[in-house]
Structures are given as C-alpha cells and as structure tokens.
Structure 1
Amino acid sequence: MLPRERLEIIKEIAIKEKKVYVSKLSKKFDVTEETIRRDLEKLELQGVVTRSYGGAILNVDKTNEDVPFYKRSRTNIESKQYIALKAIEFVKGGSTIVADCSSTVFEALKLIRNRNDVTVITNSVEVLQELNQSELNIISTGGGVDQRTLSLQGPITQNTIKKYNVDIAFVSCKGMDINKGILDSNETEAEIKRAMIKQSNKVILLVDHSKYDRTSFVKLFDYEDVDYVVTDIEPNEEWINLLHSNNIEVIY
C-alpha cells in the first residue's frame, strides 16, 4: 500500500470514528507506530485532525466538505445557481467542456441542457443520470463509482480524459488558502481534476464565498493554473490582489 493510500484510509477512519489511536493503526497497517505518528502529523498540518496522547481527534469543522453529494448540492444553492449563470457565458457554439463532479459545476451544466452544439466530458455520475436525456453530447469518462461523491474514479477515468483536448474545464474545489493554494478533500479526485485542466485551453474555477480562507486535505493546483474564478461575492482586497497577480480574471 502506498503511503498516500494509507493516509486516505486513516482520514476515512477518523471521519467515521472521530478519534484514532496510534497503536491500533500500527497493527492495522502493519507499520511502525512512528510511521503512524508521521501520518497523523501530516493530517494535522492539513487541518483534518488534532493530535492527542496516543492518537488524534477529528476536527469536525475542517472536514465538513467530506459530505455526500446530495447534502452538498443543497448547501449555498442560491450562490451556486448565480455562479452557474455567470459560468455558462463562456459556453459558445461548438464548445467542448470537461466537467468535474462538483455540485456547482452540475448547476452550470443543467442550464445548458438544451444545447445540442456542446460536448461535455465528465466523471460525474449525477450528470450522467440527470442529463442523459438532454440535448448535450455527453461523454462518460468511465471508471469505478465513488458512492459518496457520485463520481467515476481510477486509471480508466484519467486515461479517458487524456484522450481529449477541450476548450473549457469547469472545476471546483473544497477550499482556497492564500499560502497553500487551491485545495480538495480527496487525493484520487484531485488527480482527476489535474488531468482535466491539463487538457483544457481555458480553466474556469467555480467557487462560492464559503471556500475562501478554508483549508482542506490535499493540494489541488496552483493559482497560476487558473484563468478565471467565477464566484458569488466580491473577494476582499487581499484575495483580489492575489488572483490578479496570477493573471486570473475574477467574475462575480
């Protein structure tokens, strides 16, 4: 098992059980207790847990992004719909789009469901279910199904994405930090999003105000990888300066 895979499993255990113990994890993964302590230190640096004597305790306020898609889709829905309206202004006739499995991107795709001149490549199970009868030309990435995120993941997913060159990448994230960059909660999903932006001429990040100054588990990509940020509320001066310094156009 790779270290990052072990780290992801430890995170899942922490979310489920609220507390983890070094000795139990050491036996479970057949590694030394010192290795587990280093893993917990990494999770603490990401804001997932707080280390305590003999283990670590879950930081509930830092992991609320790890909720199922159906719950996330009902959070800040008005903000997401506003962002979606702004985002689809980029969609021209004949556009090709690669779209992640986020609820905000899903709202944008719903608004162009009658566009028969647009092709969408996506790993979103929700898009495949809800928009399969739409006018959109939808290409599924394939892959294994993650029930919590309602996404397709794995090597098949990444290999499919790499076959296409597209005009636009619609992606979102779980958090944005001035110093740490653009963040997400799942390493596997982050790898898929990185593949998406590499195949795109224009990267558009759809993010509501709750994502600013918010940490998450894994680095997704740097600000310099993004062309546009579409958001619901004008960011503060510090954020505006940072985004503009990376040649990102901010739309709100």
Structure 2
Amino acid sequence: MFAEERQQRIAERARSQGRVDVTALAADFDVTTETIRRDLTALERQGVVRKVHGGAIPVERIGFEPGVATRDAVMTTEKERIGKAALAELPDEGAVLIDAGTTTARLAEIMPGDRELTVVTNAPLIATTLAGHAMTTVLMVGGKIRGRTMATVDDWALRALADTFVDVAFIGANGLSVDRGLTTPDTGEAAVKRAMIAAARRVVVLADHTKVGNDCLARFGSLADVDVLITDTGLDADAADELSAAGPRVVRA
C-alpha cells in the first residue's frame, strides 16, 4: 500500500471514530509505529488531523478549522474534477450564487466567459477571478471578511442575501451527513450559507468525499434542501445511495 493511500484511510478512520491510536494503526496496516507517526505528521501538515498523545484527532472534532492555503493544497485533483462537473449545473444565462471555499473556487476558475451571467459571491478571491469576464456581472456581498476562510459574514452579508434571488447556488460544506445535514465550524458562515440556500431556486453542494460523515459545530441545512451533491469517486456507491435517499442527486466526479 502506498503512503498516500494509507494516509487517506487513516484520515477516514479518524473522522468516523473521532480519534486514531498509533499502536492500533500500526497493527492494522502492518507497519511500524514510526511509519504511522510520519503519516500523522503528514496529515497534520495538510490540516486534516491534530496530533495528540498516542494518536491524532480530526480537526473537525476539536473546533480547529484549517486556513484557505492549507485547505487549498488538499484533495486538489478531486476538487478540480468536482469543479468541472459543476459546470453542467450552470444556466446558459441568469444569476448564480457562489459560496466562498476552495472547491467552489475551482468552479469559478473554469467558468465560461461567453454566458450572460450575474454572479453573487461572498468571496473576494472568487469575485476577483470572475471580474475579468466581459459578459459576467459580479456582485460582491459585503460584510466582515473572516480571515481564516476569506468569506464575508455577519449582518451586512445577511441583509444583502435577504433581497437576493438566484437560479442556482453553489455552496461548500465542511461536513455533511444524513443525520446532521450540512455543517460548518463557524456560526457566522453557517448563517450566510443558510441565507444562500433560501435565496436560490436550486442548490448545488460541492464537497469532496472526506467531508461526508463529518459533523461540525453549526448546522445550516438538511440534505433535503440540496438538489445536487457533487463529490468525487472516493465516496463509495453505498454511501452515495444513502445520501441520495435523503434528497439530493449525487454526482461522483
């Protein structure tokens, strides 16, 4: 087994169990404890886990949220595939919302410039990416910029979204599950995401498979609120069927 594959399995186990133990992992994967410690160090550098005595805890379980640069370097190939698949959900013309996030940013990077679209976003980086499209009107949702995610939040953002109605909202999530629905670590961002769902005719969630099964602090919607979930092939067919039964059409890119 390659180190990358083992690390992915360790990350998935940490998220499902809430903690992983070095000794148990070494026995299960038939490697030395030093190898597992190196795996955990690599995962910690990626912002996936936080090392603790004897093992590690997934960052979602301890209220720690990786910054944009850290998240942008993780699951890059999967995020690019998700972004490409999301192009199929873009209208030929009309208005869309694009939530802040490293996966939604992949969609913005490859959006066609030959459609008459109005894009509303709470992400300065996404607004900058799309500002050069001659046929695209970009509306920036105001508010306080949250440094960790570079998203605008709080009352100014909520007031703007309350008077907004779009054809499609492309939304990111830190966690999603059948039991808890859509979640994120920050209550301010949860409020903005909730307002985005209310402002859209259709809701498309972009989330790689590592987000599935995670439950973060703040819930901002249920799977029944989602029309399409676009994830990657790391999500197995049984899990996809379970999510689909709760509401959304699931696309594994």
Aligned residue for 2:138, secondary structure, equals strand
**Are 2:59 and 2:65, in contact at CA under 8 Å, matched by a contact in 1?**
no
Aligned twin of 2:179: 179
Identify the residue that residue 66 of structure 2 maps to in structure 1. Answer: 67
Residue 235 (structure 1) shift: 3.3
| Counterpart for residue 22 of structure 2 | none
AA at the equivalent of 1:83: I
- 1:246 is displaced (CA, Å) by 2.7
Question: Where has structure 1 moved over 4 Å in runs of 4 or more?
Answer: none
Q: Per-residue displacement from partner, 1:165-197 (whole Å, max 9, x unpaired)?
A: 110010010012332222111110010000001
- Residue in structure 2 matched with residue 160 of structure 1 by the alignment: 160
C-alpha distance 64-154 of structure 1, shift in aligned 2 (>3 A): closer
Q: Which is worse superposed, 225-234 or 236-245?
A: 236-245
> In 2 relative to 1, CA 82–195 (structure 1 residues): closer, same or farther, beyond 3 Å?
same
- Taking the aligned partners of 2:74 and 2:234, their CA distance within structure 1 comes to 19
Structure 2 contact 225–247 (Cα < 8 Å) conserved: no
Q: Do 1:116 and 1:137's aligned partners in 2 also have CA atoms closer than 8 Å?
A: no
The whole-number CA distance in structure 2 between the counterparts of 1:198 and 1:231 is 22
Look up the match of 1:146.
Answer: 146
Q: In structure 1, what is the equivalent of residue 218 of structure 2?
A: 218
Which consecutive unaligned segments of at least 5 residues does structure 2 have?
A: 1-49, 51-55
Paired residue type of 2:133: S
Given the two structures, how large is their TM-score scaled by the length of structure 1?
Answer: 0.72
Aligned-residue Cα RMSD (Å) equals: 2.3
**2:241 matched residue in structure 1:** 241
CA contact (8 A) 2:84 2:107 kept: yes
- What does residue 9 of structure 2 align with? none
CA deviations on 1:51-97 (whole Å, 9 max, x unpaired) are: xxxxxxx9553358611112212211110110000001111221311
Q: 1:64 to 1:84 in 2, by over 3 A?
A: farther
Structure 1's unaligned 5+ residue stretches are 1-48, 50-57
Q: Deviations over 1:119-138 (max 9, x none)?
A: 11010021123332233211
**Contact conserved, 1:143 with 1:157, CA < 8 A, in 2?**
yes
Residue 137 of structure 2 corresponds to: 137
- TM-score after normalising by structure 2: 0.71
Structure 2 counterpart of 1:208: 208
SS of residue matched to 1:95: strand
Partner of 1:38: none
Q: Shift in Å at residue 111 of structure 1?
A: 0.8
Aligned residues, how many?
Answer: 197
Distance 1:61 1:133 in 2: 36
Percent sequence identity over matched residues? 20
